Structure 1
Amino acid sequence: MKAFPLSALMAILTFASVPAGAQQEKIDPAVLTEGFLAAHPDLRWRAEGVRSYERKDYAVALAEFKRAAYHGDKPAQAMIAEMYWSGIGVAMDRPLAYAWMDLAAERLYHDFLVRREGLWSALDPAEQQDAIARGQALMAEYGDDAAKPRLDKILRRERRRVTGSRVGYVGNLTIVPFTGPLSGTGMTLTGDQYYAPKYWQPEEYWRLQDTIWKAPLKGRVRVGDLENVPAAPANPPAKDR
């Protein structure tokens, strides 16, 4: 079974990657300070996981991706699935890999959905039943019904701490990004830019995530075309998932 390679998935885990034609809807690298990432544990732990993975410190990377996944980060959930599927830093576990990819595809983001169906078609019937059974506990802990409220609470709490938030303006901020291509460089942003609703209001933040991730990877990855994933057979009945 062919699938998008791990190198492509790793490429899109960085904050600068956005769908073609949606440049206005992205996370500005300039805002990625320590304080910003502390208030966005989904992004923080995804970034930490990427760095650990690139160092080949896979056990640490897996733990960090799980912390991001705990706060609803779908790319981190997809990365966990790939690590279990390929046995990278962990014992290969195909049913568990499918269960994690099922989580990643929960919001019907295109390529995570396609990858999920590809994994399903590669499982034998016993593995499929095992994946369904084990996925229930994962969904209860990491699915959106549990994960989104965790992050919503943090976003609202941190936004309330902003000086001047009642008037909607907090002056100019000197920003030193924590990660990404602008890491370590200083610049000035207005408070309105740094505390834009799309970063701090839960409903707007989840809408931003949907915009970033709904497009196919082929329109976003800069490292070359992806391999084609064959169409999966009919889905298992929804009640069995």
Structure 2
Amino acid sequence: MRKTMLLLALLPLSLGAIAAEKKAAPPPDPVEDPLLITAGFLTHHPDLKYRMLGMEAYKEKRFDDALRYFRRASFFADKPSQGMVAEMYWNGEGAPQDRALAYAWMDLAAERGYAGFLGLRERYWNALSAAERERATSEGQAVYARFGDEAAKPRYEFQLRTGRRNITGSRTGFTGNLQILVPGPAGEQSIPGSKFYDERYWDAKKYWAWQDNVWMKPAIGRVDVGDVEVVREGQPPKVDSRIPETRPQVDAPVPDVPEEPAPKPTP
């Protein structure tokens, strides 16, 4: 009987669920805040935007659309979306089943050493035949060239810089008393600039550190005839990729996506 990995259960984890720092509260979860979304926050955060659209499509069993959305998020260095692409290829959802290509994508999702994805990567590898392993390491080079961090992070950091330049008073680096007005059915609502422009959303180093805090240690389970096996903390799998290094393609074409649904009105 086919085992279904519960990777999808990880995707809705609150991206604001970082342990509170001594001098600063964690930022709000942008994908769960309708005001932030309506205010255009996701315009400059395509990783979160297309992961969210992919999640919605997947839950509605629109697997073709979900795969395309996850690939677009993956293009902007989103490791959870890369893991979902792997799962979908592994299970034949949205595309013909391709276990070798699935391994290449899960190897990519584990690129930063996130424990859950490393565990799934090793399970994939152990299930592959010798021929599949050979093809995975060969075809994986093209996957890394286009979607690996060396190519994807510079693209994403450009998005952050572009968005940050839109901050009122950005020359001084302060948002001050800036209020962002969002029109809605009941009139305009305001978002404090300090919430919208939290440094952890816009400074590249802080953004990647934030992502690491969220994804480094969560366990990933799987279902097998009603039982759940959990990848627990302990001796971590080997982090090094099995796929040979390749030259990053920062200017690779952006993956296409379905027509995006109209934004939901602000309550």
Q: TM-score, normalised by structure 1?
A: 0.81
Match of 1:94 in 2: 99
| Aligned partner letter, 2:123 | G
**How many residues end up aligned between the 2 structures?**
227
CA change 1:188–1:227 in 2 (3 A) is farther
8 Å Cα contact 2:65/2:94 also seen in 1: no
**Comparing 20-29 and 98-107, the one that deviates more:** 20-29
Deviations 1:147-181 (A, max 9, x none): 0000001100110122222231151234689xxxx
Task: State the secondary structure of the residue aligned to 1:173.
Answer: strand
Pick one of 144, 147, 155 that aligns with 1:139.
Answer: 144
8 Å Cα contact 2:110/2:121 also seen in 1: yes
Match of 2:26 in 1: 24
Pick one of 208, 211, 232 that aligns with 2:210.
Answer: 208
Match of 1:82 in 2: 87
| Aligned partner letter, 1:155 | L
Instruction: Say if 2:167 is the partner of 1:169.
Output: no
Q: What is the Cα-based RMSD across aligned positions, in Å? A: 3.3
Pick one of 7, 10, 13 that aligns with 2:8.
Answer: 10
5+ residue gaps, structure 1: 178-183, 220-224
Give the distance between the partners of 1:20 and 1:161, measured in 2 at CA.
26
Give the distance between the partners of 1:108 and 1:98, measured in 2 at CA.
15
Deviations 1:189-223 (A, max 9, x none): 4211210110011111111111110122369xxxx
> Where does 1:38-187 land on structure 2 (aligned, <5 Å)?
38-167=43-172, 168-169=174-175, 171-174=178-181
CA change 1:146–1:240 in 2 (3 A) is closer
CA change 1:95–1:163 in 2 (3 A) is same
Structure 1 residue 12: Cα displacement:
2.2
| Aligned partner letter, 1:169 | T
8 Å Cα contact 1:2/1:228 also seen in 2: no
Give the distance between the partners of 1:158 and 1:236, measured in 2 at CA.
33
| Aligned partner letter, 2:117 | F
CA change 1:236–1:2 in 2 (3 A) is farther
Give the distance between the partners of 2:45 and 2:13, measured in 1 at CA.
13
5+ residue gaps, structure 2: 222-226, 245-267
CA change 1:87–1:237 in 2 (3 A) is same
| Aligned partner letter, 1:205 | Y
- Greater percentage in helix: 1
Give the distance between the partners of 2:113 and 2:102, measured in 1 at CA.
17
Q: TM-score, normalised by structure 2?
A: 0.74
**Structure 1 consecutive aligned stretches of length 4 or more whose deviation exceeds 6 Å:** 234-237
CA change 1:163–1:70 in 2 (3 A) is same
| Aligned partner letter, 2:199 | P
Deviations 1:71-109 (A, max 9, x none): 000000000000010111211100000000000000010
CA change 1:217–1:175 in 2 (3 A) is farther
Give the distance between the partners of 1:32 and 1:118, measured in 2 at CA.
36
8 Å Cα contact 2:108/2:148 also seen in 1: yes
